[in-house]
Structure 1
Amino acid sequence: MGASPDRLQAFFDMWEREYALSAPPVDATISRNDWKRHVGEREAFGALRLCFLDWIVDAGAVPVITAVLQAVPFAPATQAFHSLIRLAYGIEAGHAGEIAAGLASLISSHLPIDVSLDKNPRAESADAGFDHAARALSGTVFAGSSITARLRAVASDVRFGTAVLAPPASAALLDDLARATIAAYWRKPDFTLLHTVTATRAARIVFAELHDSLVEQLLPGLWVALSAAYAMIGRPANTETSFPNIAVNWSELCQMAVASDDDHVIKMTYTCLCEDRRQPSPLYLASAARLFEPSKA
């Protein structure tokens, strides 16, 4: 978005000072033939990252990403979608270390939502499918202090398993999901729904590197995870889509995002910019502009 090297360094320094944790020493070694034994072991993150990084150096990023995503159930909801987002940004930046870290996070904090869609009816659209899942869990308050904890609660609710529909039969399901998630976020600017917008963009980046047959296998997992997030926060108001007069343009919004120290504001602005370039919609500019309103700061 046009950040200078000085601004990038300043943001890095702020993040390191305010949020970064010291990485614990990696005492164990995980081989390429043994990493599947460590699915769901959070303490294995460091060793998994080194395993995947060494593998990427030898074989290249795409073969490693493909091998990992083929070997375990796809779990895009892991770490409240941040693992998938981290993997996508690693791919976009061509940064082997971040790709390895994203894969390690997906595996060590693995959060699959085990739902069989074989006998469930097919949704007519992404919007209709999300709404159906949310209606089934309407009025339920899910316990947990984090998005991840509440997603686990949704995943374990038997009503969700029966209510989530099979994804709509669309050759452009990712585009449908992008439209549905930004529309939901515009109607209800919930923090969880923000993550569904950025995660859908992240999935687009990851899937672009994979063979179509593998993408077809992974899409239902993304659909279920997004449906769970939608059901968790409840149905956004079914109101007419109207837009305020937007007094800023994309160039100005990017400048404001670059000046921000809020990583979610930065990621959401960038996502809206990229998706608007791909599939223009006034919802993207309006949603990004709303991030900088005083009440949203």
Structure 2
Amino acid sequence: MPIDSVHIKLRELLDANARFDLTARGTTNHCPMALVALARMGASPDRLQAFFDMWERKYALSAPPVDSVISRHEWRGYLGERAAFGALRLCFLDWIADAGAVAVITEVLREVPFAPATEAFHALIRLAYGIQAGHAGEIASGLASLISSNLPIAASLDERRAAESAGAGFDRVSRAVSGLALPTGSIVARVRAVATDPRFGETLLAPPASVALLDDLARATIGAYWRKPDFTLLHTVTATSAARIVFAQVPDSLMKPLLAHLWVALCAAVATVGWPDAEVADVPVPTLDWSDVCRMAIASDDDHVIKMAYTCLCENRRDPSPLYLATAARLVS
């Protein structure tokens, strides 16, 4: 399969996705993220089209008309304004055409506090996948989602002692809020409930003092998901991987605050389901290999299976661990 034909089809479908709303029936718009993951795992143009058609038929909602214009000097005033998503997307898209994606991503992340839990991490993941695809529309959509659906978590890390490890920090806040009655439904509602509970703020620690904090978080989250295959923990794995992609675009001077906000958001997310106590046991050798995993993920219509399998593939290439193949094999099977 000529790789150009896949890229052409992917770009065509990502362009077409602009007619879909930020939300979907019973979920958010996962379509563009799944398409990028499918393409990068080796899906054919026909498979990309079939997934897009399935999504449009079963889940997509039409984007409302954009009846206002937001200039690149006004976007900060629309923080948390869900209805402004479409206008913000066009604002960022126009700005990217003039200044380039890296400049716009950097400016947005510098000007407003980073809120990675926005839409329970999907805004961050969408931005990362847009970067990987080199698609200005999806980069603009990810940024617009981060601003319009902004979910800040007010928790200063100043003068807090550092957690001994990522797992120790996650475990501490999980135990502190273990009796909290959480709303049913979206991860967003549960994260918001934990983040506003006083016990969360009282027990939150600073992140471990590690020069490779993203690597530590990646190992901790995949280990937790292996031990406890919970839907929320799945998102901590995909969000950590997405953060690595986004953070690679910005100057080193922004890394410390961005990592701090990511740490707080992951702590809140983990606390909604609890940190699994058991240590990682010996990981069984799967009967599937990576080619099997990719083939089965490509055949799936489950966007979370697709994205998680792709994340495991990428993270294993970066930092090989039997957990990634075992996790992905369990998921696609």
Shorter-chain-normalised TM-score: which range?
A: over 0.9
Give the CA deviation at 1:136.
1.1
Equivalent residue number for residue 38 of structure 1: 78
Equivalent-residue separation in structure 1 for 2:66 and 2:158 (angstroms): 42
Q: Which of structure 1's runs of 4+ aligned residues deviate more than 4 A?
A: none
Give the CA deviation at 1:240.
4.4
Residues 129 and 227, structure 1, Cα contact 8 Å, conserved in 2: yes
Unaligned runs of 5+ in 2: 1-40
More displaced 10-residue stretch of structure 1: 34-43 or 111-120 = 111-120
1:7 equivalent among 47, 63, 70 = 47
Identity %: 72
Residues 188 and 237, structure 1, Cα contact 8 Å, conserved in 2: no
1:276 equivalent among 293, 316, 320 = 316
Deviations 1:202-222 (A, max 9, x none): 000000111111112210000
Using structure 1 for the length normalisation, give the TM-score: 0.97
1:149 equivalent among 189, 194, 201 = 189
Deviations 1:81-130 (A, max 9, x none): 00000000000000000000000000000001110111321101111111
Equivalent-residue separation in structure 2 for 1:163 and 1:203 (angstroms): 24
Equivalent-residue separation in structure 2 for 1:79 and 1:98 (angstroms): 16
The residue matched to 2:275 in structure 1 has which SS?
coil
Equivalent residue number for residue 248 of structure 2: 208
Equivalent residue number for residue 225 of structure 2: 185
1:109 equivalent among 149, 162, 165 = 149
Q: Which amino acid aligns with 2:189?
A: A
**Structure 1 residue 70 corresponds to structure 2 residue 70:** no
Using structure 2 for the length normalisation, give the TM-score: 0.86
**Structure 1 residue 125 corresponds to structure 2 residue 165:** yes
1:267 equivalent among 298, 303, 307 = 307
Equivalent-residue separation in structure 1 for 2:45 and 2:202 (angstroms): 50
2:199 equivalent among 147, 159, 162 = 159
Give the CA deviation at 1:143.
1.5
Q: Which amino acid aligns with 2:266?
A: L
**Structure 1 residue 223 corresponds to structure 2 residue 263:** yes
Q: Which amino acid aligns with 2:155?
A: V
Q: Which amino acid aligns with 1:210?
A: V
More displaced 10-residue stretch of structure 1: 82-91 or 135-144 = 135-144
The residue matched to 1:233 in structure 2 has which SS?
coil
Equivalent-residue separation in structure 1 for 2:284 and 2:209 (angstroms): 34
Residues 250 and 273, structure 1, Cα contact 8 Å, conserved in 2: yes
**In structure 2, do the counterparts of structure 1 residues 24 and 170 end up closer, same or farther at CA, with 3 Å as the change threshold?**
same
Equivalent-residue separation in structure 1 for 2:231 and 2:210 (angstroms): 28
Q: Which amino acid aligns with 1:282?
A: P
Residues 113 and 155, structure 1, Cα contact 8 Å, conserved in 2: yes
Q: Which amino acid aligns with 2:195?
A: A
**Structure 1 residue 88 corresponds to structure 2 residue 128:** yes
Deviations 1:238-260 (A, max 9, x none): 24423234100001100000000
Residues 134 and 231, structure 1, Cα contact 8 Å, conserved in 2: yes
Equivalent-residue separation in structure 2 for 1:240 and 1:80 (angstroms): 26
Residues 154 and 160, structure 1, Cα contact 8 Å, conserved in 2: yes
Equivalent residue number for residue 22 of structure 2: none
Equivalent-residue separation in structure 2 for 1:141 and 1:119 (angstroms): 30
Deviations 1:166-210 (A, max 9, x none): 001111000000000000101100000000000000000000111
Equivalent residue number for residue 32 of structure 2: none
Equivalent-residue separation in structure 2 for 1:219 and 1:36 (angstroms): 21
Give the CA deviation at 1:132.
1.1
Give the CA deviation at 1:237.
3.4
Give the CA deviation at 1:5.
0.6
Deviations 1:240-292 (A, max 9, x none): 42323410000110000000000100000000000011101111111111112
Residues 315 and 324, structure 2, Cα contact 8 Å, conserved in 1: yes
Q: Which amino acid aligns with 1:132?
A: R
The residue matched to 1:21 in structure 2 has which SS?
strand
Give the CA deviation at 1:153.
0.3
Equivalent-residue separation in structure 1 for 2:277 and 2:56 (angstroms): 39
Equivalent residue number for residue 61 of structure 2: 21
